[in-house]
Amino acid sequence: MDRLGDWFPFGKAPLIILLLVLVSGGWLLLHPVKRTQATLRFWTFADTHYYAYLNAKPSFEAAHPGQTVDFQFVHGQAVTTRLRAAFWANLDVPDMVEVEISAAGSFFRGPSDDIGFEDLTPRLKAEGLFDRMVKARFAPYTHRVRIYGLPHDVHPVMLAYRRDIFEAEGIDVSKIHTWDDLIAIGRRLTIPDKRYLLDFPDASPSGLEMCLFQRDGGYFDSGGRCIMDNPVAVETLQWYIPLVAGPNMIADDPGWGQPWVKAVEDGYLLTFTCPDWRSKFTEQQIARMAGKLALMPLPAVKPGGRRTSSWGGTMLGLTKACPNKDLAWQLAKHLYLNPEELAKRFRDTNILPALKEAWTHEAINEPRPYWSNQPIGKLYAELADDVPPQYASPYIEFAKGKLSEVVSSCANYYKKNGEAGFAAFAEARLKGAADEVREMMKRNPF
């Protein structure tokens, strides 16, 4: 080792690292990663999308002889981290990518020339898609009036409820028009630690943000300004927290997976928020509830108000690195604008497409025995045009994290102190979080 020390005087650890680099580099040189020979490479983070696209692949390739598509299922977190790294390094950039709505805005930082996605606005105008699709669904994928994503879905939210229990209790859901109507029922039916009306969480922002969107609030406005502490947000937060915390709470969140399944089966949860995608999840996870569940529109904030909100979403983007953007756009239309393909996908996923002309297909209007023979596609479609917009920002992920902290701290405060000082605490906590977001936004000169 003394001789090695004379030759490599930096110590054993750096020497070992150097040897590992040489060995691994040599192995990679002799065993290079095989590159796909497909014409187009497509990343998606959702397994339901992936399998649906594999089914749609043969018809597209048959219509485009000599062209092939490589669909790749990539974990959602990996999509964002890998894609950002690929854009920065200009390496391993796919031709087409689906990005979840909460992460989409994070790709819009910096000057427009540095955004890795192609501006789709000219193509959307040429195809007349602003009128053919739900307009609100372009908002999350729009930055500085340029649209970078084609919306995959609408995801209107309804309320799933235990129809058998509601009927046994003599509750007529057609008479539930507002949140006040529903909360009054919750006060009567909730039994602490045994039965709750709603599945709103007290430690994450999902329930609160859904209520904010319904009230035309949210994280940012159409100009990209942070509005998460405006009067709508303050009022909504002060209304929401007593539902999920304190002695009169009527909501509990059992989480996902088996605890949630058991909560619905046992009647611990009487209702749960149900965007279209969650209705299929419910069918698959709680098969024993077939015929015992039904859907109703969300209660309105005020009589005659909006009866839905939105939860989740996906955009399809074409990367600037794609060498054949015209072919990629043809594939995008095949997957997102082909009514027959969309009908097949709806039967498999219950996801209502953003293309409005697809809603007249018989698949959308079929009664579903699981949901007490309701035509759930028709019910979701009737609400779809009223889905509120969610505006994009490069700081959307940061803002969501801050709102999560607000919900947790306000719920903990309310559990300990009740109404005493709560209104002031909630307003101050919300403003502090929004100020942190605004301070972070100042760091971006673009």
Mind listing the pLDDT tens digit for each residue in 345-364? Answer: 999 999 999 999 999 999 99
Q: Averaged over 163-178, what is the pLDDT?
A: 97
Question: Which pLDDT score, from 0 to 100, does residue 369 have?
Answer: 97
- Residue 316 to residue 147: CA distance in whole angstroms: 11
Q: In the predicted model, is pLDDT for residue 15 greater than 80?
A: no
> What are φ and ψ of residue 84, in 5° steps?
-60, -45
Helix orientation angle between 396-417 and 422-441, rounded to the nearest 10 degrees: 160
Report which secondary-structure segment, H or E, holds 364. Answer: helix 362-365
Outline which parts of the chain fall under CATH 3.40.190.10.
40-151+311-384, 157-310+391-441
**Distance set, CA 399 to CA 136, 223, 233 (Å):** 21, 16, 13
Q: Averaged over 404-419, what is the pLDDT?
A: 98
* HEC profile of 245-283: CCCCCCECCCCCCHHHHHHHHCCCECEEEEEHHHHHHHH
Residue 373 DSSP SS3: coil
Using one digit for the tens of pLDDT, what is the confidence trace for 52-77? 999 999 999 999 999 999 999 998 88
Question: Which pLDDT score, from 0 to 100, does residue 33 have?
Answer: 46
Using one digit for the tens of pLDDT, what is the confidence trace for 118-150? 999 999 999 999 999 999 999 999 998 999 999
DSSP character string of 121-144: HHHHHHTTHHHHB-GGGGGGGEET
Question: Which pLDDT score, from 0 to 100, does residue 2 have?
Answer: 53
Q: Averaged over 359-374, what is the pLDDT?
A: 96
Which pLDDT band holds residue 18 (cuts at 50, 70, 90)? low
Which pLDDT band holds residue 193 (cuts at 50, 70, 90)? very high
Q: Give the dihedral sign, CA 421/422/427/429.
A: positive
Residue 368 DSSP SS3: strand
**139: closest CA among 396, 392, 400, 395?**
392
Q: In the predicted model, is pLDDT for residue 199 greater than 70?
A: yes
Question: For the ranges 32-41, 178-187, 249-258, 366-375, which has the lowest average pLDDT?
Answer: 32-41
> Which superfamily, per CATH, for 157-310+391-441?
Periplasmic binding protein-like II (3.40.190.10)
Q: Averaged over 265-275, what is the pLDDT?
A: 97
Question: For the ranges 10-14, 202-206, 242-246, 421-425, which has the lowest average pLDDT?
Answer: 10-14
Question: Which pLDDT score, from 0 to 100, does residue 253 have?
Answer: 93
Q: Averaged over 142-164, what is the pLDDT?
A: 96
> Edge-to-edge strand order for the sheet containing 293-297?
271-275, 157-162, 293-297
CB atoms within 10 A of CB 192: 11
Q: In the predicted model, is pLDDT for residue 4 greater than 80?
A: no
Helix orientation angle between 396-417 and 206-214, rounded to the nearest 10 degrees: 100
Neighbouring residues of 441: CB distance < 8 A, sequence distance ≥ 6: 226, 393, 395
DSSP structural state of residue 310: B
**Per-residue tokens: 406:** 């607000």
**Distance set, CA 260 to CA 255, 272, 280, 281, 392 (Å):** 6, 10, 15, 12, 31
Residue 95 DSSP SS3: coil
Query: 39: number of CA atoms within 13 Å, CB side?
Result: 17
Q: What is the pTM of this model?
A: 0.88
Which pLDDT band holds residue 36 (cuts at 50, 70, 90)? low
Q: Tell the CATH topology of 40-151+311-384.
A: D-Maltodextrin-Binding Protein; domain 2 (3.40.190)
- Residue 387 to residue 306: CA distance in whole angstroms: 8
Contact 223, 317 (CB under 8 A): no
